[in-house]
Structure 1
Amino acid sequence: MTRWSVHPGPVAVPIDRWGHMPFPAQSMSPAGVGWIVDAHRTGQPPRHDPRPPRSLLLGDRALEADMTGSPPQPVAAALDSDYYRIGIDARRRAHTDLADVSDITDDLEHRIENLLQRTLELLDGAPKPEAQPHIEWVG
């Protein structure tokens, strides 16, 4: 006899009225499975109503959104003579403002490593090695 294949995840998942399953997959409760089995056993399974047409969901706006018309024509944007200068100035300011980000992230990474090392020492009960110099970030 062959072995049953093993598939991770729930056996029965709830399906909403539009036929969608939850993500990530969640298993149905035993009471929910029992209710559906009992409904099928008695010949009264739950109804799955089809989704209403889009025109009913939109109401009167569906008539306005007729898709048979031509697509809109592109419009040429009138750019100010300072358009490119303003953009270049903004990039310069951002470059100056963000110049020390790599130093900040390096310091943060160092502090995280120290915290991890201290946590591992506490969990292992090992004696502390020589103390590292404390670097305080001021910013």
Structure 2
Amino acid sequence: MYATTPGTGDVPTPPPPRLSTRDRHVWVLFTDWCAATDQPPTPATPQQLARFLRDNPAAPATQRRRVSVINTVHRGQGHPAPGTDEAIRRVLNTTRAARLHRVSALVAERLPQIPTAGWPAGFFGRRDRLILALAAAGVGFEQIARLRRRDLTATGDHGAPLQLCIDGGRVDLPESPEIPMAAIYRDWIEVLGFLDQNDATTTIAEHFTAGRELTGFDAGYRADDRPLLTSINRWGHTPLDPAPPTARAVTAIVRAHLTGTAPAHILPPPKPRKPRRDTASDRYPIDDGRVLDPSYYERGTAARRSAHHELTDVTDLLDDIEDRADQLLVELAGILDDAF
């Protein structure tokens, strides 16, 4: 007999998917606990699952199996899996929890040092701050690189946590005064909202250089299937077609900031222009009384004929140089893609 949903007139909950005998015992234990605490077994919240694990202590392997069964039932009924919450994962994996605690402490220390204004430092800084915050929240580097705009959402309440879609399930990202995830996210989508309205990065460069605020541009941000993050070259320009950084690039960005070796992203000052040379004084009037050599025409014709013979292969040489230059540009583009 299936469990009933408390507080709804004892309406039976939908039957769980087919489970093994061992897993069925886990689900019955959970539904009995929910009935005793007057809570519905589905959909269960991460906090509810955490209390269940606390009230029913067991070996770590047993607790992980319990969470897996509860997640399976929720997915089978079309509900978000409560066990994908980062807090639950840290409870079940103490090694992971200790590692993320160290990473979070380093990220909290580095965040105030990363600029959000100035060009192109502020452009890089807003993107990198979001990458660091996501890494501190336990999101993997490959998952960060694959994120689309629709995968990360925030409600209108600035105090509400961000929701991240991973493998079809929604999880709340942790929010803390040291790592204000929602504020860091809004700093970045203000940039994306600005770029949605102004395609060229030269426009946002002028905005940053003038020290103007980007507040309000998040209203024009479109949460669609485009990459959430973007590659940026050393001059602050993004690809014409949206291209996210690779997982290796995300790893390098996190490592550089956590080790204090991240570049400052300061453009070199423009080279001063050389003054134009006034050549007017070197010119001679057309009629200055000079007498030309009577054989100058023959010598000029002979020189042109000789040059035509000696420069016959120049076109082929220039074509070869152009082909080599094109190959170098292709290799350079590959290097930049890997670096950023």
Q: Given the two structures, how large is their TM-score scaled by the length of structure 2?
A: 0.16
Q: Point out the structure with the larger strand share.
A: 2
Q: Which structure has the higher relative contact order (CA within 8 Å, separation 6+)?
A: 2
Q: Point out the structure with the larger helix share.
A: 2
